[in-house]
Amino acid sequence: MTDLNAPLPLPVRSDAMLARLANRRSASAQLLSVPGPSEAEIEQILHLGARTPDHGKLFPWRFVVLGPQSRTELSEALAVLAESQNRIDKDLAVLAKLANPPLTIMVVSTPIQSHKVPVWEQQLSAGAVCMNLEHAADALGYSASWITDWYAYDPAAVALFGVQDGETIAGFIHIGSLTAPPLERPRPNMAHKVERRG
Q: Judge whether 120 is annotated as a binding position.
A: no
Q: Judge whether 51 is annotated as a binding position.
A: yes
Distance CA 28, CA 111 (A): 29
Q: Judge whether 24 is annotated as a binding position.
A: yes
Q: Judge whether 185 is annotated as a binding position.
A: no
Q: Judge whether 187 is annotated as a binding position.
A: no
- Helix segments in 24-164, DSSP class H: 39-49, 68-84, 89-93, 95-99, 119-139, 155-160
Q: Judge whether 112 is annotated as a binding position.
A: no
Q: Which helix (H) or strand (E) holds 66?
A: strand 61-66
Q: Judge whether 20 is annotated as a binding position.
A: no
Going from the C-alpha of 143 to that of each of 24, 63, 111, the distances in angstroms are 9, 19, 29
Per the DSSP assignment, residues forming a β-bridge with 62 are: 108
Under 8 Å between Cβ of 142 and 176: yes
Kindly give the pairing relationship between strand 143-147 and strand 61-66: unpaired
Distance CA 61, CA 109 (A): 4
Q: Judge whether 26 is annotated as a binding position.
A: yes
Going from the C-alpha of 13 to that of each of 10, 16, 17, 19, 46, the distances in angstroms are 10, 9, 9, 12, 24
**Binding site listing for FMN:** 24-26, 51, 55, 146-148
**Binding site listing:** 24-26, 51, 55, 146-148
